[in-house]
C-alpha cells in the first residue's frame, strides 16, 4: 500500500475526491457541496469507470456506493486497499447493518447511510481528510513521538508503523486507534473514547460495531487473535488496552 505524498507547504494542492454512485442525483449533489469546499471532484456512475480512475489518478479520498450496476462497492474498496491507504467512505442503505460491517472489515474508514444530509457528508469528509493529511506525509522527516513496544514501533511524526521490522500498512483510522491505545498503554480505553479520538463526534451506541470492526481488522493485520493477543487486549464490558512493557 502507499500513502499519497503531499506537496510542500509552499504549493497549494486541491485534494482529489472520487465519488462513485449510480444514482446520478445523489452523486452530483455530493459533488456540488464538496466542490464548494474547495475539493477537486471526480464523479463516476459505474464500477468500471471508478477502477480506471483509481488506477490512473492520485486520489485523497473515495466515496463508494455499495450497490452499483456492474460491481459492488465492496470490490472497489478491496481493489483500492491493495495499493492505497487513503480514506474510503461507504454509502449504505439505512437498514443494511451488514453492509456497514462488511465495508469496515474490507478497509473502509467510515460509512454514511442513505438518505443523508449533504452537510453530514461534508463534515465526515473533512474529518477523514484532516487525518489523511497528517498520515500522508506532512510530518515527513520527523522522528518525534516515537513509541516502541517490543516489536511494534509507531512514529507519530511520520505516521509510520512497523511490526517486527516490517511495515504495517494501516489506514488513517486504524493508525489513530492503534496510536491512541499505545499512548495510553497500561490503561483501558473505552470504545467511546476511541470513537471520539478518531471521529471527534458525539458517541452513539449504534456506532459500537464501528470500533469493534476496526479493532478486528487491526488484529488481523498484526497477526493476533482475541484469544491470544500479543498487543491489543479486550477488557470485556469496558474497552481495550495495550499493556506496559
Write out pLDDT tens, residues 79-115. 999 888 899 999 987 666 777 777 787 888 888 888 8
Q: Using CA atoms, how far apart are residues 160 and 155, in angstroms rounded to an integer?
A: 5
Q: Are 62 and 124 in contact (CB under 8 A)?
A: no
- Residue 122: name the closest of 89, 154, 148 by CA: 89
Query: Any long-range contacts for 200-208 (C-beta under 8 Å, 24+ apart)?
Result: 200/127, 201/127
Average pLDDT, the chain: 83
Question: Cell for 14?
Answer: 486541491
Tell me the pTM.
0.64
Q: Is pLDDT above 70 for 156?
A: yes
Q: What is the mean pLDDT of residues 129-150?
A: 62
Burial class (CB in 10 A: 0-12, 13-18, 19+), 219: middle
Q: Is pLDDT above 90 for 53?
A: yes
Amino acid at each position: 500500500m502507499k500513502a499519497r505524498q503531499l506537496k510542500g507547504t509552499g504549493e497549494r494542492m486541491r485534494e482529489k475526491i472520487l465519488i462513485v454512485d449510480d444514482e446520478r442525483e445523489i452523486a452530483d449533489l455530493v459533488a456540488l457541496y464538496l466542490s464548494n469546499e474547495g475539493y477537486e471532484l471526480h464523479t463516476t456512475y459505474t464500477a468500471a469507470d471508478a477502477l480506471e480512475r483509481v488506477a490512473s489518478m492520485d486520489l485523497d479520498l473515495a466515496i463508494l456506493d455499495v450497490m452499483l450496476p456492474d460491481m459492488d462497492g465492496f470490490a472497489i474498496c478491496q481493489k483500492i486497499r491493495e495499493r492505497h491507504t487513503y480514506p474510503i467512505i461507504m454509502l449504505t442503505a439505512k437498514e443494511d447493518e451488514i453492509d456497514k460491517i462488511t465495508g469496515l472489515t474490507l478497509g473502509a474508514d467510515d460509512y454514511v447511510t442513505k438518505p443523508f444530509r449533504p452537510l453530514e457528508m461534508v463534515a465526515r469528509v473533512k474529518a477523514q481528510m484532516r487525518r489523511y493529511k497528517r498520515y500522508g506525509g506532512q510530518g515527513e522527516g520527523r522522528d518525534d513521538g516515537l513509541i516502541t513496544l517490543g516489536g511494534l514501533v509507531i512514529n507519530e511524526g511520520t505516521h509510520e508503523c512497523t511490526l517486527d521490522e516490517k511495515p504495517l500498512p494501516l489506514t488513517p483510522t486504524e493508525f489513530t486507534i492503534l496510536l491512541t491505545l499505545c499512548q495510553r498503554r497500561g490503561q483501558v480505553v473505552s470504545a467511546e473514547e476511541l470513537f471520539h479520538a478518531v471521529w471527534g463526534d458525539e458517541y452513539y451506541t449504534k456506532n459500537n460495531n464501528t470500533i469493534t470492526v476496526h479493532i478486528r481488522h487491526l488484529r488481523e493485520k498484526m497477526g493476533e487473535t482475541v484469544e491470544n493477543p500479543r498487543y491489543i487486549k479486550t477488557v470485556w464490558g469496558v474497552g481495550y488496552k495495550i499493556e506496559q512493557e
